[in-house]
Structure 1
Amino acid sequence: MPPNPQTLMLMLLGDFVLDRNVCVFSGSVIDVFDRLGISSHATRSTLARMVNRGLLRRQRDGRRMYFGLTDRSTTILHDGRTRIWRTGAVNDAWDGDWTLLCFSLPESWQRQRHDLRSQLAWAGFGPLQGGLWIAPGAVPAQNIVTGLGLSAHARVFHARADSLTDIAGMVRDAYDLAGLAARYAEFLSRWDGPAPFADPLAARLSLIAEWLGAIRRDPRLPVEHLPPDWPAVRAQKVFRELESSLVEPSRAIAGQLLDLIPDSARPGE
């Protein structure tokens, strides 16, 4: 599924605004989004919604309106940068360690249970049985339970599976492998061949946004215990090769289109 305008906006800002202490002119954002087939009205509406959600701040310069990042959007973009460029989708260097979290909450704590499960899933955990969740590698699970005020109701362990344990079976029980594979298959259906956009800037923004959509909830399970021909391997190769071919022409176009000024809210950073 093609990414929504807000996700594309974040990809644009992450590439050309993040860590540069600049703001971008709304008119040049409209020019970029026109290349993606998104109308000026939809672009302006997206900018306004992101301001209302605390993701962007306005900065006027004469008659022009510019937009800069907030602390919240900066944190989101740094997290996305890590997931896209550093972590990767293929865990082929797993050391055999697991993080285990067990919890027991009162039946009446439905909201707390939902919040905990949601954050555990986001952090790469899968439910093994009852209140026992697992994640490959060392995951700061204690930060999750502490942040939710549930330290008295949860315990965190780090362990290795016994040689008799069927790790592949355990992974199948704890994670929705079909759902994970489907996201990579969808990515490949759009990008393993001619790009859906001829324009390099539009293609690259869409490519990165869709790749983030595919990997953002991937727990990075050890590939040695996944089904043969796990689609993330091919998908990551396609992403990296295509992104590499698009980076220079897309940045050349952006350099001509984007009107940037210093961010007055972040002087001297």
Structure 2
Amino acid sequence: MASPFDIEEIYPDDGEHSLRLPRRQAGNSPQGVAVTLLADYSVRTRAAFPSAAIVALLAESGVTTAGARTAISRLARRGVLEGSRQGRHSSYRLSRAAAANLSAGAQWILTSTAATTPWDRCWTTVAFSLPQDRGAQRRTLRGQLRWLGYAPLYDGLWISPYELTPPARELLAQLSAGRVTVFRGRQTALDTTSQRAPIEAWDIDAIKRHYEEFLRRWEPMLPLVRSGQVEGSAAVRARTEVMDTFRRFPTLDPQLPLELLPAGWLRQPARQLFAAVYDDLAEPAERHVRAVVARFTASGEPGIQAHTTADLVAGSRGDASPGEACRDGPTR
């Protein structure tokens, strides 16, 4: 089974822009930290940050000055950041495409872990075939299918417990004619031990371990957060880390039906813990970000705002309407 962390992009292109957000790496890359940091305090306002302030904030997360400046430059070339200059001083903000992309991603992260969509025991099966010389296209397709909630039951055969969504339909429509077939239906049980259950396309034990690791990491910090003992740069670092970690869960566990999962599944406890840490750190983290920005600009930046989980969900388009035979799952 391919690791879900092999997905090339944090969020895929939306089909209308050439925007490419930074690739995932083992650990937190400078570009990834920069995107998370700017999104946490400006995804709705697109506030501009002096480049020196971005460098200073990234330094608090262990990014060198050279690494921070390289990350900013590369993000600007990718179209993730827009730059402006006044005299010798430069500032950057999220581009309109990046802000829309990240906002949609944040809504998906929070809504897809908030509740379980009713399931009617239907499975969507996507079978595709690409020539060996199209390895890059195959890797991209697999990564985007993973992001859309699919997993490989066999090589070239991907499944989801939910209806084919419009984004998935558009993705598959880009393949050459005769390269893809989509089915929707129920599994037929066989009286044999060689049968593989569709849920086995996901490594349930591994997903459970990721949830357990998340809870072990953040539960001890929650009392400190709630008592106001996490402030300043520590609040910003913790908030960035908890978002960067939690946002991977909807790909690991794309609203898998609870009836197929072990009792006491940890999706909701993890989401509740994430929301408590992220929201309770919003005020002290925002104060610190504002203080750092104020060191590099006389006027300050009124648009800096630490978004809460409620803010990020507010723009959600809601669940898709159910189909006639099978209910739709998450819209991505």
Report the TM-score range of the alignment, normalised by the length of the smaller protein: 0.7 to 0.9
Could you say which residue in structure 2 is the equivalent of 1:265? none
Q: Which whole-Å deviations, capped at 9, do the CAs of 1:12-46 have from their partners, x for residues lacking one?
A: 22122223243211122233234334333332222
Query: Of 269, 292, 300, which aligns to 1:257?
Result: 292
Deviations, residues 114-139 of structure 1 (Å, cap 9, x unaligned):
44333222211122345432112223
Q: Given residue 203 of structure 1, which amino acid in structure 2 is its aligned partner?
A: A
Q: Residue in 1 aligned with 2:243?
A: 208
Q: Note closer, same or farther for the CA distance 1:81–1:255 as it changes in structure 2 (3 Å cut).
A: same
> Which of 116, 119, 132 is residue 95 of structure 1 equivalent to?
119
By how many angstroms is 1:240 displaced?
Answer: 1.5
Which one has the bigger helix percentage? 1
CA distance 1:10–1:210, change in 2 (3 Å): same
Seen in structure 2, the aligned counterparts of structure 1 residues 49 and 129 have a Cα distance that, compared at 3 Å, is closer
Unaligned runs of 5+ in 1: 263-269
Q: Scaled by the length of structure 2, what TM-score is found?
A: 0.66
> Take 2:89 and 2:214, find their aligned partners in 1: how far apart are those partners?
38
Question: Against the structure 1 CA distance between its residues 155 and 3, is the aligned structure 2 distance closer, same or farther, given a 3 Å change threshold?
Answer: same
Describe the superposition over 1:35-84 as per-residue Cα deviations: whole angstroms up to 9, x where unpaired: 33433333222212222333223211222110122355234412421233
1:188 corresponds to which of 215, 238, 245: 215
Corresponding residue for residue 27 of structure 1: 52
Q: Specify the code of the residue in structure 2 equivalent to 1:7.
A: G
Change (3 A) 1:155 1:49: same
Residues 216 and 125 from structure 1, CA distance in 2 versus in 1: closer, same or farther, beyond 3 angstroms?
A: closer
Displacement, 1:246?
Answer: 1.2
Instruction: Report the CA distance between 1:110 and its aligned residue.
Output: 4.7
Q: Which amino acid aligns with 1:180?
A: I
Corresponding residue SS for 2:48? strand
Sort the Cα spacing of 1:100 and 1:35 in 2 relative to 1 into closer, same or farther, 3 A.
same
In structure 1, C-alpha distance between the alignment counterparts of 2:142 and 2:130, rounded to whole Å: 12
Gaps of 5+ in 2: 1-25, 225-229, 294-299, 304-332
For residues 30 and 221 of structure 1, do their structure 2 counterparts lie closer, same or farther at Cα, with a shift above 3 Å needed? same
C-alpha contact 1:57 1:70 (8 A) present in aligned 2: yes
SS for the counterpart of 2:221 is coil
Give the aligned partner of residue 153 of structure 1: 179
Note if contact 1:2-1:206 (Cα within 8 Å) is conserved in structure 2. Answer: no
Aligned length: 258
CA contact (8 A) 2:82 2:94 kept: yes
CA distance in structure 1 between the aligned counterparts of 2:190 and 2:279, rounded to whole angstroms: 43
Shift of 1:164: 9.1
> Who is 2:11 aligned against?
none
